[in-house]
Amino acid sequence: MKATEMPATSPSADSGVVDAFSALSPEEQERQREEWKQDLARIEEDIVLMRETLSAKIKEAQELKHKLGITMWSEFTDDVNQGLKNVRESQAYHKVTDTISEIQHAVTEAPLYQAVAGKLEQAQHTPAYQRTEAALKTTTEKASGLLAGLGAKLTEARDSPTVKSLEERVGTMVTTVKSKVTSSRSNSTQSFDEALKEAEAAKRQAESAAPPPTVTEKTPQ
């Protein structure tokens, strides 16, 4: 590598070095320049070698991070968390926290805040507030009881013999329709319209024979 040429008149900015260099003979000055050039070339070679070594180490570190599952996002998250931790542990953060606590204490101790809080507490003990709260509670309880009773009545009606008998009759009617339609397709002795009319007649007969159950609702007291 070619070393950088140094000026002949000013080998260094330091005045002591300049004076010492000026005191040398021309031959000694030339030898000194050659030594400096060799030192500079050696240092530049060391810099290049260190850069190559650093680049290889960075590549090796990236490969190890990839094997360990360490991504750029995880590194960024760790850096952010560490930064937040440093902020929380800093004196400035503690000062701000103390200031906010003092402001909150001052607000809660202010006469206006105390007056508003007292008014709200007094309102909660007034008869009107208590009546409203009791009415809402009673209405909620009655609505819950009504829904529970209605659900129980529907369950009882569904399991009653009348409903089961009606379900059986409807099932029989559907079976009859299917058999009639199948028979009409195979033997061509009865049309689909005739089978449907017979099914409707059977349905009307079943409905007239088994009236639907009635569900009584309990009026909330």
Cβ neighbours of residue 1 closer than 8 Å, sequence gap 6 or more: 41, 44, 45, 48
Q: Average pLDDT in the 120-124 region?
A: 77
What is the per-residue pLDDT for 9? 46
Q: pLDDT tens digits for 193-220?
A: 666 677 777 767 766 665 555 555 555 5
From the CB of residue 185, how many other CB atoms can be counted at a distance below 10 Å?
Answer: 10
State the SS3 of the chain. Answer: CCCCCCCCCCCCCCHHHHHHHHCCCHHHHHHHHHHHHHHHHHHHHHHHHHHHHHHHHHHHHHHHHHHHCCCHHHHHHHHHHHHHHHHHCCHHHHHHHHHHHHHHHHHHCCHHHHHHHHHHHHHHCCHHHHHHHHHHHHHHHHHHHHHHHHHHHHHHHHCCHHHHHHHHHHHHHHHHHHHHHHHHHHHCCCCHHHHHHHHHHHHHHHHHHCCCCCCCCCCCC
Q: pLDDT tens digits for 35-47?
A: 999 999 999 999 9
| Least confidently predicted of 6-15, 88-97, 135-144, 157-166 | 6-15
Q: Is the pLDDT of residue 181 over 70?
A: no
Average pLDDT of the chain is 77
Q: Is the pLDDT of residue 122 over 50?
A: yes
From the CB of residue 195, how many other CB atoms can be counted at a distance below 10 Å?
Answer: 19
Q: Average pLDDT in the 171-200 region?
A: 61
